[in-house]
Each structure stands twice: as C-alpha cells, then as structure tokens.
Amino acid sequence: MISYISLLYHVFAGDRKNEQAGRRVGNLVEFMQSIQMMQEEYELLSSGLLDWMQNKKVVFMDRNFDGTVEDIENKIDEMTSYKIGEKIEKGKEKEELEALLNTINMKLRSNDRSAYVPPEELSVANVNNSWNDLAHEELERDEWLKDQLARQTQLGNLKKKFGNLADAMEDWIHEKEEYLATVDPILSLEDAEMQLRRLDAFADELSASEEKMQRIAKLADDVMELDDFQKVNVKARVDNLMSSWQGLDGKKNTKREDLLEKLDLERRKEALRLKFADLAKDYERWAKEVVSELDGRDFGTTLSAVEAFQEKLDKSDTDINEASNAKRAQLKHVWQELQDLGVSDNRHTILTDQDIENLSNLVGEKQKDRRDDYEVELQRQREMEDKRKEFARLAEEFVNTHLPTRLARLTSELGSVESDPESLIDMINEEYAEGSPEQIKLKVLNDVANEMSGMGIVENRHTKHTMPSLQKEAAKFADALRDYLEDINDEKELKAEFDLLARTLNQWIEATQPTLRKEFDNTLDGVRALIKEWNVFKSRDSANHEIDLSNIQRLYEKISSLLIKNNRPPFIPPVDCTHLNSIFSDFLVAEKEAEDLIFAELARQEEIDTLLKGFNAQCKELENLLSSVETYLSTQERAESLNDARLNSSMFVVNNKKIDGNHHRLEQLLKLRETITQKDYHTPQYVILRSDEISQRWAALEDLKAKKGQHLKATLEEEKSKEQFFLKYSDITRDFTQWVREAIQNIEDYYFGNNLEAMISYEREMGFRTQLDLSKCEEFLQEIKGVQDVLESHGVSVSEPNKYTDFNPATMQNFVDQLNSALENRQMAYEGALSQERDNDARRVDWAEKAKEFVEFLENNKQQLGAIKSLEELQKLHINAKGKQLLSELKGDLHRLNHDGIFGNKHTPYTLSECENRNKKWEEYVQDRIESFEEDMDLEKREAALKVELERIERLGELQSEFDASRYLMEIWIEQVEDFHSDPINVHSVLEIEQLSHNYDQIASQFPSFETVHNRLLSISTETGTEITSLTAKFTKCRENSDKMYSTLGLEEERQKKIEGWKKQFAVQGEDFLKKLSESKHLASLATSPDLQENVNKLSSIVGSIESGKESLEQLRLINTSLDDEMVWDTGATFNFREIESEYNQTLESIKLQLKQAEKELLLKDNTGLTPEQLAEYRDIFGHFDKTRSNFLEKMGFFGALSAIGEEVDEATAGAIFSRVDSDKDGKISFKEFTQYIVELNADRDSEDQLVESFKLVAGDKDFVTENDLRTVIEGSKVDYLVKNMPVVGETDGHALYDYKAWVAQQYRS
C-alpha cells in the first residue's frame, strides 16, 4: 500500500510562507498524484481484472473442443491449472484491488477527501459480480467438463471399441474377400468337400459375425449420438463395413456355386469311380462267387434231381450270362464315362476294364467245366439209376412175384390139386426145399446191393425194400408156409374126425331104422314093456345121434371154411351131410310112426283091460297108476347131460301120454260108477267116494304135470344151454388157440423197419399191436372165462376133458404163456434190433460227423484263406494232413458200414463221392488262391494304403473343420476378453471394483481351457500346416493384457479404497465443520449483553474461531480437490464442498457484520470520531492481518496494517509506533488500540481551507494561478500534474489561468 505522505514543512531559504504553501501544495499534488496513480492502478487493475474475467467467461462459456478425451483432459488440466494458479493469482489481484480501493479511500478519508468512487463498470461490486459470474461460469464449466470428460471418455471407449472392432472386421472382411476371390484348385472330391467345409465354416463365421456387425453398428450409432465431429466419417465407415460385410454373402454364394459345380463334377467323377469300383468289386465278387458256385458240383443225389438240374443248369448259365452281360454293360458304360471325363486313376480299385473282361472269360471257362462235369454226373446218375432200378426190379420181383408165386404154388396150386393133406404136406416140403430158391435170389440181390454201395448209392426211390427187409420178406414167406402146413395138418385131423362121426351115424341109422317097427304080443304088459324100451331108445340113442348129426354139420362147415381159406379143393366126405340129414329125417319119420303104433296099441290094450277088470280093478289100477304117476311127477330127476335131459323129457312125454291114454279109464270108471249107482249098489257112497277121490287125484295130476313139465323143460333147456356152452367153449377155445397161433406168427414177424426212425416209430406201433394182442387175448380169456363160469354155474367142471374139446384152463394158460413169451421175445428182438440199429445209426452219425467235420474243415480252411497274410501261411494251410486223414477214415468207415449191410445215411447230405469231389475242388480252389494270392495281397495293400490316405484326408478335413471352428471360437473369446481389457474401469466404489474383479476372474478362469484349445490348435496346425501365428500372437497379447488388467484392477481397487477413505474423511470432517459453524452461529446469537465491549469481545472471539477454522476448510478443500482430481464428484455425503464453503463465508460475514455493528455502537459510545464506514474498513484491514484470528495483531500483522492504511515506514519506525500504540504493553495490538492510533494519525491532516490558502499564497493572492506561479515553488513534475488536472478559467499573455479553488474543492468533494 502507498503510505499517506506526511505533510512536512521544510524551511527553505526565502519567503517561509510561500515555501510552506508551495510545500503544502506540493504535498497535496504528491498526495493527489499518488491517489491518482492508485486510482489509475485500480482502474487498470479492475479493468484488466474485468477484462480477464470477461475473457475467462468467454473461455468458460466456450463449449467447443476437438472432440477428443485428450482435449477435454487438457481443458480439465487447464481448469485445474487455472484454479491452482491463475484463479488464485487473480483472486489475490481481486483482494489487492479491494485493498487498493480501501487504501485509496482510507487515504482520501484520512485527508478529508471524498471517497473514491470508481466508474460503475469498474466498481468493486461490479468486479465482485463479475467474479461471482465467473465463479458460476467456472462451476458450469466444471460441470460441462465433467460431463464432457465422462462423455468423451465413454465416446473414446466407444470409438476405441468401434475402431478396434471395425479394424478387426475390416481385416477379417479383407481376409475373407481374398479367400472368396481365390479360385482354389480342386483335384479330388476331398479337395472339393474340404473347400466346401471351409466355406461352411466361413458361412458359420459369417453368420456369427452378424452379431459382431450389429455390435459395430450399435457402437457407431452410440458414437454418432455422442460425437458430431466424426459422425460423417463413422457413418461412412460403418456403411462401408456393412456394405462389404453384406457383400460377403453374395461372394460366398458365388464361391459356393462354383465349389458346388466343382463338387458336383468331382462327385460325379468320384461317384463314377465309386460306381465303377463298386460295380467292378461287385463283378469281381460276383465272378468269384459264381466261380465258387460253379466249382460246386451238387447236381443232386438222384437221377431225377440231376436231370431236373438240367433246367437249373440252363437257367443258371442263362442267368449268369445275362447277369455278366448286364454287369459288364454297366461297367463299360461307367468306364467310358470316366474316360470321357478324363479320369485315368481310380483310388477305389485296381481293376480295369480288361480285368473285367478276364473275369468274364474265367466265368465262361468255369461254366464250361461245370457243364462237362454235369454230363459226367448225369451219366453216373443214370448208371446208378439203372442199378437202383435193377435192384428195385429184382426186389419187387422177389417180393411181389417170386415169394407170392412160390407161396401160391406151395399152397394154392398144390393144395388145389391134391386133396389128401398128408400127401400135400410131403409135396410142399419136397418142393419148398428148405427155402433154397429164396436164398439164391437173395444172394443175387445182395450182390446188386454191394454194387450199389460201391457206386455210392445210399437210397433207392424205386423200392422200399432193402436187404434186411427182403430177408424179412423171405422169413415171412417161410412163416406163411409153415402156417399153411399147420392148417393142412388141422384139415387132416378135422376130416378124420368127420369121417368117423359120419360113418358111425350112417351105420347106426342103417342098423336102427329097420328095427323101429315092433311086433306086438297083443298083451298090455307086452305093450308097456315095449313103451319102456322105446322111451329108453328115444332119450339116449336117438338123442345122442341127433347131437352127432349136429356135430358132423359143424365139422363140415369148419373144414369147408379152412379149405376155402387155403384155397383147397372142396371137401367131398365119404358120407354126404345132405344124405345124412335126409336119412336121419327119414329115420325120425319112421321113428314117429313106430311110436304112434306103439301108443295106439297101448290104448287098445288098456281099453280091453278096463272092460275085463271091472270097476275095482280099474280103480285099483287107476290108484296104482295115480300113485306111480304122482311119484313120477313128484320126483325131480337129475340130468347129467343133454341126453339125460332129453331122456327125462321123453319119459315125461311118455308118462303124459300114459296119463292121457288112461283118462278114458277115469271116464269109464265114472260111467261105471254111474252105472253102479244107478243099479242101486248097496254101498254107492263108497263107489262115489272112491271114484271122486280118484277123480280128484286125477285132476291134481295137471298141476304135477305142469310142475314136472316146467322142471323137465328147464332141465332140458339148461342141458341144451350147457351143450351150447360146451359147443361155444369148444369153438371159442379152438378160435383162441387158432388166434394165438396166428398172433404168435404175426408177432414173430421181426421186421421193425429199415431205419432208426422207422424202428423208433415202430415202437409205438408195436406197443399198439401188443396192446391190441393183449386186449384181444383178454377178450378171448374173458369170453372163455364167461363160458367157464356158466358151465361151472351148472356144476360142470371145464378142467376135465369132454367130448367136444380137450381144452382146459391149463391149456389156456399154456397158450397165454406162449403169447406172452412171443410178445417178450418180440420185445427183446425189437430192443436188440433197435440197439443194433442205434449202433448202426451211431456209426452213420459218426460217419456223418466225420463227413461234416471234413466239409467244415474244408470250409474253415476256405474261411481262413481270408485271414491269411502270406503265401507261406496259405501253403501251410494247404498241406494240413487232417483233411487227408479224415477223407481216408471216411472211405474206411463207409466200406465197413457197407460190409455190415448198413446202407444209406439220413444224417448227412454228404456222400463219399461228394466229399472226394469237395476235396478235389478244395485242391483246385487253393491252387487258384495261391495263383491269385499275390494279386490279392497287392490289391489289399493298395486298398489299405488308399484307406489310410482317405482316412488321412478325411482326418485332415475333420481337423481343419475342428481347427476353423475352434479358432473362430477362440478368436471370439479373445475379442470378448480384449473388449473387457479395453473397456475403461468405470467404478465408483470398492464394492464395484471387487465385483468387476470377480467378473474378470470368471473370464480369466477360462484361460486354462482356452490354453488347452490353443494347444490343440497348435497340434492340428502342426499336422495340417495351417497358419496359427496370428492367433498365437493374439492369445499371447491377451494373456499379457490379462496380467495388466489384474495390475490395473489392483491399482483401481487401491484407488477406490483411497477414494472411499477420502469420502469418509470428507463426510466426517465436513459434518464436524458444519457443526462448529452451527455452534458459532448459536453463540453469536447469544452476544446480546448490555456490555457492548463484552459483545464485541465475544463476537471477535467467534470471528476469530471461525477464521481459525479456515485451515479445516482448506483441508476439506484439499480432500475435495483430491476427489475432483480423481474425477469423483459424488462424495457420498449430504453436502458438498461449495455448500460448506458458502456456509462458512455466510456465517463468517454474518458474524463479522454483527461484530461491526457492535463495534460501531461501541465507537459511537467512545466518540472516536470515526464513521461507521471507516470503522468497517479498518475492521477489514485489522481482520485481514489478524492471521491467528485472536482479535489481536502481532508485530508483523501490525506492520502490514500500517502499510494498508498508507503509512509507509521502515521497520524501526514501525517498531516504535507499535510500542507506542501498545498501551497495555501486552505485546499485541487490539482493535481498539488500532483505531485510536488511526484517529491520532488522522488528526495531523491538511484541510481544504488550508490548501486553498496555500494556493492563494503561491498565486500571489489571486483567484487563479499560472504555471509560472506554480513552478516557482513546486517541482516541475508536480506542476505538470497540476496544469494537467486543474480547470482553466482564462488566459493571459498566452498563459493559462487555472482555477485552484475549484480544483481543491474537487479533491475534497469528488
């Protein structure tokens, strides 16, 4: 500050008053010059400050920048530099400006001058308003910069992302355009497929890149939304990118069409190659199969089968030729297509058109060989068929001609011409010759069978007969002849029995018939004796011979039946049955006539006797007769036989006739009684009673006759029944014995079949037959037993022989035993035959197994050929001795089987000849295989090499596809990770940075898996030669960026923790600071004591306390600045620094104002003479230098205050003044002491009048003054100042006249 110029008076030589007046004017001029200088300085400073603020406002209001973060950051740096530099400097200037104005006015007031009022536009208020406006603009600028920084940071990140993605996309598009524009050479189907797979992979990339393009477009939209500067460029770039990207699809389609055309061509070539290879392989396989089939010689095992095979053979040859021609035509067509397409190679086959021609020729040769072999086999089968027919003819002739003819000859022929059984038996035995003719024929048949076996014939469809069955037929023939001989023997015995019975009956009739007519002696006793004799004859002789006649008839019928059965001559008995029946009928007629004569004679004699004897005699006779008849009729006679029964019946008839014949005697007796009673016999009652008794007894005879007749009839019937049962028993037992013989004959037919199945089947049939035989036997036995039971029920024992049969239970049991024995023997024979057949079949099975083993051995060897890898192994397989051994065993076993009469073998389709043929074909097949082995091995090697190559190519294609997919996936992942790396870390808390770190950990955790993917890609790259350097570089850079990201995240976490600490510190200290301000306001509100000094002291203390908090405010400012530096504008508190600062300033100003008012009141009370405005100015100066806010000034503060009020003194003078002003000697100056000093200081100032007087002295007591007047007593520069500033009132002699009074008045009143 410019100190007030002390108005010192210097005593100069000359006029002391003028000098003093000049000095006083000079001082005033000097003072005014200094004031003017200060005013000019103020105006200069204020205008400069205002200009600067205006310029700054323009700068702050300027929202233009180059659109980069760097520019915004530079502007923020500039703003920061401004705040810590220029603003502070300008703030000081503003404070100095205010201090300068205060100083000017302080000096003016101290010299009773009017206060300096700067131009309005330069006023402090205007400066302050401009300063506040600037602060507002500064705040707006800060906010704008913050917004722009965030926006530009975001924009920068967006641009960076957009640039990176766009660069990557442009590079990718460029790379793909080059790829799509490249015409790749297609040399194979694999090349085409690989290129298409590559194109498919590109299509997948292109499809996947759509999302990337969308991201780029979205980023472009975001950039253009935030940045108008690059909007056109970004739009143009993204449009170009989109156009290029969209163009890829068309180029892709064009390339695909080209590749598809090439693929179609290659596929066509490959399809033709494959088709030819398949057709050739199929033809080769077909040819080999056909050759193998043609090698087979299974023309059939019978002539009909072989002949039928002719059609199959023709059809087979036709089919083979047609198939060969069709296949060859296809092959030729495909071969020609390959030639037309210029295909000269075929990796799928080594076969050529010439090879197919050779195979075709081979098939033709094999067809000819087979047809030749067929002709041979046909001839062999014809020879075998002839042999079969020969055997069948001989067998059929033997069975159907020889044996039946021989049997007919020995039975029917001989039996039909020779009636004598005994002679016939001798003739048959002589001609039969013990079966020698049969044995001769069997030997012939056996020789033919051996020939058949030697020819390999195992079956004969022309006949069912085999040697065993023929032998069985011969045995059956012998059995039939034996049965016939037995029938002839039975015939002989029956004829002998017939002859005996017929002769005996004939002789008896001839001898008896003449004796039937009796001579009567004409006496009653004689007639009666004759009747008695007659009754005996009738019941015995006549009845027995009647039975004989019946037996003769039965024998005749039986003999006739037997003769008819055996085709024997009819039986011509010596005594004809008809004759016997005729003479016996005549005999019976004669017998009846004789009997009638006897009984007529008896009636005549009895009538005579009646007439002769009288009544008594007649009564006596009748009584005797009744007694005799009653006794007879009451007697039950036993009948031991039919003859006895017949005799008893005859006796009954005789007695009945006797009774009937004597009935007239009863009538006579009754007539006599009537006569006697009429003649008045003196005892008529006797006659009546005796006659009545006789009549009653006679009447009772009817009942006795009926009973007797019934008994006799029953007895006769019983005896007849017994006789019938005897006859039935005889017939049944004879039939039973005959059936047993025939059954045994059939049972002893041990032909059980000619094979095991037939024999096994026969077991059921045999069981059925056995059951039938046993059932039949049981039926016979039951029937015999029934007859036996009936006979025994009649008291007849069948154990004893009878006249009809010698058969008895013992005989029956013997036959049953024979039957059971025959059945057991047949069972044993069957079991033996079955066992033998099973043994034979086992031998057949064994042979079949060996044949199968041999065939399987050959087949296995054929199968092993496919696995053989060297010619040595093939030769080793070829010389295997097992096949030869098996074939040798088959030959030996078959010879032994045939030797033992075992022919045919259903267990195998193979014959020895077929096995030998198969062995021959095997040898030929092996030889063919040996010849083609090297060619096949070469083919296999080439095919294997081709397969390996194809697999390698296919694997390369798969690896390339895998590589492309994995690489693209990895590039996408790297891009995503790098996006994360490139994204700014925009977090506002520790929690957010921790979450961001966690999120990044999850991303970074995929590095190992992608390391594996990368290693796999390296492996594939090594194998395929695919370039991977750029991907490896990207992956390596991504890893490095990951390490940097971890470092950045760590630093950011530390930063966030530091910021969080600042926020907490700001919140705590800010809250404490505001609390203290609130307390200060509260204390200030209590400064209302009547003691004004106490109020001033309290308020001064409060002001000091508040001002002492300036350091805390500065600490908050530093914290806020630190947060601002970190671009953290949200402190997290409910207040910000500007609010705190504003609250601080408002509180301080308010309490200061209250203090000024209190001081003003105190000064008024103390009457210091200072105006309130002066008091306020001095309070401001005092407060400014009261650095400790203690309401006291230390020395240095006091020295500054002196300078501020215009007292420019040296340090010593200032010290002296301090000591003088410090009235209480406490080493510090109070405000009161300071104001007292100013009052004292102001008391020593020039007044307006004093200055007018001084000018007047200089002007020579004139009302105006000239320049010369002034120069005489005042320095030239000061005079220059005066003439320049003083108003001119006139002019004299060319010299201006200056109105000093107006000028002085102006200095005090302006």
Closest C-alpha among 1085, 1118, 970 to residue 1030:
970
Cβ–Cβ < 8 Å for 913, 456:
yes
Query: According to the model, what pLDDT value does residue 616 have?
Result: 74
pLDDT tens-digit profile of 511-558?
887 887 778 787 778 878 888 888 787 777 777 887 888 888 888 888
Closest C-alpha among 137, 116, 130 to residue 31:
116
The three-class DSSP label of residue 1288 is: strand
* Residue 174: count of CB within 10 angstroms of its CB: 11
In this structure, of 165-169, 486-490, 947-951, the range with the lowest mean pLDDT score is 947-951
Tell me which H or E stretch contains 739: helix 684-747
Kindly state the tokens that stand for 861: 């060897």
In this structure, of 223-227, 465-469, 1097-1101, 1120-1124, the range with the lowest mean pLDDT score is 223-227
* Residue percentage of the chain with pLDDT more than 90: 0
Query: According to the model, what pLDDT value does residue 1100 have?
Result: 83
Query: According to the model, what pLDDT value does residue 1 have?
Result: 36
Closest C-alpha among 200, 263, 255, 194 to residue 1024:
194
Alpha-carbon distance values, 1026 to 152, 180, 949 (Å): 42, 18, 19
| Backbone φ, ψ for residue 464 (5° rounding) | -90, -5
Binned at pLDDT 50, 70 and 90, residue 4 comes out as very low
Rg value, the chain, Cα = 85
* Residue 256: count of CB within 10 angstroms of its CB: 18
Q: Which amino acid is at 413?
A: E
Tell me, rounded to whole angstroms, the distance of Cα 537 from its chain centroid: 114
How confident is the model over 947-952, as a mean pLDDT? 74
pLDDT tens-digit profile of 335-384?
888 888 888 777 778 888 888 888 888 888 888 888 888 888 888 888 88
Separation CA 543–CA 34 (nearest Å): 214
DSSP 523: S
Angle at the Cα of 709 from the Cα atoms of 708 and 713, rounded to 5 degrees: 120
Separation CA 697–CA 705 (nearest Å): 12
Strand 1192-1193 relative to strand 1295-1298: parallel, antiparallel, unpaired? unpaired
Whether the predicted pLDDT of 10 surpasses 50:
no
Tell me which H or E stretch contains 391: helix 353-396
Cβ–Cβ < 8 Å for 1289, 1299:
yes
Cβ–Cβ < 8 Å for 116, 106:
no
Cβ–Cβ < 8 Å for 1234, 1221:
yes
Map 813-843 to HEC letters.
Answer: HHHHHHHHHHHHHHHHHHHHHHHHHHHHHHH
Contacts of 81 (CB under 8 A, 6+ apart): none
Separation CA 322–CA 360 (nearest Å): 12
Whether the predicted pLDDT of 5 surpasses 50:
no
The label of the residue with tokens 């806020």 reads 1120
Binned at pLDDT 50, 70 and 90, residue 597 comes out as confident
* Residue 409: count of CB within 10 angstroms of its CB: 14
Tell me, rounded to whole angstroms, the distance of Cα 416 from its chain centroid: 91
Compute the Cα dihedral for 483, 485, 489, 491 and give only its sign.
Answer: positive
Separation CA 852–CA 832 (nearest Å): 29
Q: Which amino acid is at 987?
A: V
Beta-bridge partner residues of 1292:
1295
| Backbone φ, ψ for residue 975 (5° rounding) | -60, -40
In this structure, of 36-50, 96-110, 129-143, 1260-1274, the range with the lowest mean pLDDT score is 96-110
Closest C-alpha among 1004, 990, 984, 1139 to residue 1062:
990
Query: According to the model, what pLDDT value does residue 51 have?
Result: 86
How confident is the model over 840-846, as a mean pLDDT? 81
Binned at pLDDT 50, 70 and 90, residue 879 comes out as low
Separation CA 369–CA 385 (nearest Å): 24
Whether the predicted pLDDT of 1189 surpasses 80:
no
Whether the predicted pLDDT of 12 surpasses 50:
no
**Phi-psi sector, 680: left (phi>0), alpha (psi -120 to 50), beta:** left
Binned at pLDDT 50, 70 and 90, residue 679 comes out as low
Whether the predicted pLDDT of 150 surpasses 80:
no
Q: Which amino acid is at 513?
A: Q
Cβ–Cβ < 8 Å for 80, 1126:
no
Kindly state the tokens that stand for 49: 């400050």
Angle at the Cα of 836 from the Cα atoms of 834 and 839, rounded to 5 degrees: 105
Residue predicted with more confidence, 970 or 686: 970
Separation CA 279–CA 1162 (nearest Å): 131
pLDDT tens-digit profile of 902-936?
766 777 777 777 777 777 777 766 776 666 666 66
Query: According to the model, what pLDDT value does residue 458 have?
Result: 67
HSE (CB half, 13 Å, CA atoms) of 518?
Answer: 25
Beta-bridge partner residues of 1290:
1297
Whether the predicted pLDDT of 714 surpasses 50:
yes
Binned at pLDDT 50, 70 and 90, residue 2 comes out as very low
Q: Which amino acid is at 961?
A: S
Tell me, rounded to whole angstroms, the distance of Cα 58 from its chain centroid: 80
How confident is the model over 1277-1282, as a mean pLDDT? 83
Closest C-alpha among 814, 672, 773, 788 to residue 728:
788
Q: Which amino acid is at 538?
A: K
Separation CA 1264–CA 337 (nearest Å): 138
Tell me which H or E stretch contains 364: helix 353-396
Map 91-147 to HEC letters.
Answer: HHHHHHHHHHHHHHHHHHHHCCCCCCCCCHHHCHHHHHHHHHHHHHHHHHHHHHHHH
* Residue percentage of the chain with pLDDT more than 70: 89
If you average pLDDT over each of 112-116, 650-654, 1058-1062, which comes out highest?
1058-1062
Cβ–Cβ < 8 Å for 956, 194:
yes
DSSP 1088: -
Cβ–Cβ < 8 Å for 1210, 1199:
no
Q: Which amino acid is at 988?
A: H
Closest C-alpha among 29, 27, 26, 37 to residue 2:
37
